[in-house]
Homo-oligomer: A and B are copies of this chain.
């Protein structure tokens, strides 16, 4: 899965948990709907569990359940839960500080990216999981 499709899959999962509520859903079942491998689902759900959006239960009749109501979960929360700190990444290797551009570019980029991220998060904040129910 390309890195930036994680949000799509996360939304898909949460919508599914919402529709099936209060049933506990297994990663295998979710994978069948998303059309991918159960491990991908589990890895992604680990982040959502950590963020407190989902609860998990091992064993027979176990699986995943929404911990909160679907209309209280915004896409911004989901996005942050996935630890995708910013849509744009800075340089992987530090630019050359001996170059006048390289020395200053990262701080200037950060400023711009922070503004953009704020705008993006406020957009994401207006959408809820319940908006995706069929």
Contacts and interface: CB of A to CB of B under 8 A. Distances in A.
Interface string A64-79: 0000000000010000
Nearest to A108: B132
Given A15-B105, A103-B134, A35 B93 contact: yes
A42 interface: no
A12 B92 contact: no
Nearest to A94: B35
A90 B120 contact: no
A131 B116 CA distance: 15
A107 to B, nearest CB: 10
Contacts of A115: 123
Contacts of A34: 91, 93, 95-96, 102
Nearest to A36: B93
